[in-house]
Structure 1
Amino acid sequence: MSDCGAYAISIIAFIGSVFSPWYRWSGRKNPADHCCINVVTYGRGGRWTMTDRGEAALRLSTDEMRVGPSRIAWQGDRLVVDFDEATLPHPGRLRGRVTVHPSAITGVELPLVPDGSHVWRPFAPVSRVEVEIDRPGWTWTGHGYFDANFGTAALEDDFRYWTWGRFPIRSGTPDEGAVCFYDATRRDGSELGVGVLFDGAGNARTIAPPPRTRFRRSLWAVRRETRADPGYKPRQVKAMLDAPFYTRSAVRTAYEGEETVGVHEALDLDRFASPWLKPMLAVKVPRRRNWRWAE
């Protein structure tokens, strides 16, 4: 998110694109054949890109992941994302570079289910970002994070609902830090409820999270809740992504008396599992099977 709060960007690299209808229809036999670098910008002139690409478009090395015209690569102590993707529903291209400067890399892994088939890996929950996009006004700096989810099963097979939030804070840390809340309802009826406090040096400790607190549903009526100090009512301060099963937004909450605005996500996996949803998604997620590299 930009320091002024007017702009934001999210970038998700997929090998086995969990939100792709094409991957689901394929039977999820070959994750590499459904790869993607999804870039979405929020704010004036915001754009959406998410192209499901075949295995021919994927190249991997120790420090780099390429998917067709876009790539993510470590360059020394920074993570650089170069992208050149087709936009929908506004025809065109979104081109630019995002540089992530982690304050530190953590060693944290959190299994989301007891058998470890889903794992959250918060690599750099405290970072600075530089954004350069070939559109007027889209050069800015702000705060951000870098994390990953790994899994060997479909999300909708193991979860009914989950919500996640990352909020920058100073409470309980010697310098800039972040607190993350991860809550989920599993298919077997059990619950996940975790709070983790990170400092700028990459140290992490689990905390007793404040109460789950509901706030206004999304435009598609997806239920939303996050953690907040007792008596505090969270609220959305910036709309980002709103879909029938998923919402992402900037949310204001309070932790240990400190108000903070961070990125919040809620995911209704009962809705996502519905077969009627997949054709709708196919409109937003075009499939491009073939790719030819310029040698």
Structure 2
Amino acid sequence: MTERGHAAVRRDSDNLEIGASAVRWTGNALEIEIEERDKRLGVPWQRRVCGKVRVIPEALNPTAFALDPAGRHRWHCLAPRARVEVQMDQPCLRWSGAGYLDSNFGSEALEDGFRVWHWSRAHTRRGSAVCYEGIRRDGAAFASTLRFGADGTPEQEELPLVAPLPNTVWQMERKTRADHGHAGVIKTWEDGPFYARSRLHSRLFGEEVVAVQESLDLDRLISPVVQFMLPYRMPRIA
């Protein structure tokens, strides 16, 4: 993944192109075309990364939710349930399975509005459930749990108990919500100094589920040490 300048970005209502890669809405699926080079600093070669990902919604939700009283930050669970098809040419990979699609957007940077947040999503027999909580920049806490029906309609639910999770190798704090406050980590997919993404087993609303969970520490993100490290992970092209 490479950061690029505004001249490399083109968009309209159904398309977003960034460099040679693109995201397109076809009317029934989101198609992600990847054409990149692995340009991490310190790596003497540039490995090609290319392929296509299709996200096919099984349900669509038209409602976005404000994450702060002023409405500067909004979260939209576009597809509470989706099917994902991955066809990579370089490296050669094929995969398909259950997925999800959401979006965060707002009028200020995330780090200006929040200090930390935790999010998790689980598919259930009749739909899906999303737990979202964190601490805003002013120190106020927020939390909500939504259940989405098979047609994508959201309903607010009473918050399950907090389920603490073990810290990551980078000592990122993680937590989720679950019946009786118990959940466990199956696998940690992403473990960084300010972000972690994991696969969990837990119980929600009386049902055993496998969940995807993420934790984000925005105080860590804006620290000078992390800002110094970021270009080594994601090079910038003017």
Alpha-carbon contact 1:126-1:199 (below 8 Å) kept: no
One-letter identity of the residue aligned with 2:58 = S
Aligned equivalent of 2:188: 239
Aligned: 1:85 with 2:13: no
> Following the alignment from structure 2 to structure 1, what is the Cα–Cα distance between the partners of residues 4 and 25?
22
Q: 1:275 aligns with which of 199, 217, 224?
A: 224
Q: Deviations over 1:102-122 (max 9, x none)?
A: 012211211111001110011
Task: Using the TM superposition, name which of 112-121 and 81-90 deviates more.
Answer: 81-90
Q: Deviations over 1:169-214 (max 9, x none)?
A: 12xx3xxx11001001112221111101112211111111201111
Aligned equivalent of 1:143: 98
> Following the alignment from structure 2 to structure 1, what is the Cα–Cα distance between the partners of residues 167 and 2?
28
> Following the alignment from structure 1 to structure 2, what is the Cα–Cα distance between the partners of residues 125 and 96?
24
How big is the shift at 1:144? 0.6
Alpha-carbon contact 2:160-2:181 (below 8 Å) kept: no
> Following the alignment from structure 1 to structure 2, what is the Cα–Cα distance between the partners of residues 237 and 283?
29
Alpha-carbon contact 1:87-1:94 (below 8 Å) kept: yes
Aligned equivalent of 1:132: 87
Aligned: 1:252 with 2:235: no
Q: Deviations over 1:145-171 (max 9, x none)?
A: 11100022122222111001111112x
* Structure 1 vs Structure 2 CA RMSD: 1.5
Aligned equivalent of 2:139: 189
One-letter identity of the residue aligned with 2:117 = W
Runs of 4+ in structure 1 over 3 Å off: 88-91
Structure 1, unpaired ranges of 5+: 1-49, 290-295
Question: Could you state the TM-score of these two structures normalised by the residue count of structure 1?
Answer: 0.76
How many residues of Structure 1 are paired with residues of Structure 2 in the alignment? 234
Question: Could you state the TM-score of these two structures normalised by the residue count of structure 2?
Answer: 0.93
Structure 2, unpaired ranges of 5+: none
One-letter identity of the residue aligned with 1:237 = I
Task: Using the TM superposition, name which of 244-253 and 112-121 deviates more.
Answer: 244-253
> Following the alignment from structure 2 to structure 1, what is the Cα–Cα distance between the partners of residues 48 and 63?
36
Q: 1:75 aligns with which of 23, 26, 43?
A: 26
Aligned equivalent of 1:266: 215
Structure with more strand by fraction: 2
| % identical aligned pairs | 39
Q: 1:169 aligns with which of 124, 139, 143?
A: 124
> Following the alignment from structure 2 to structure 1, what is the Cα–Cα distance between the partners of residues 219 and 7?
33
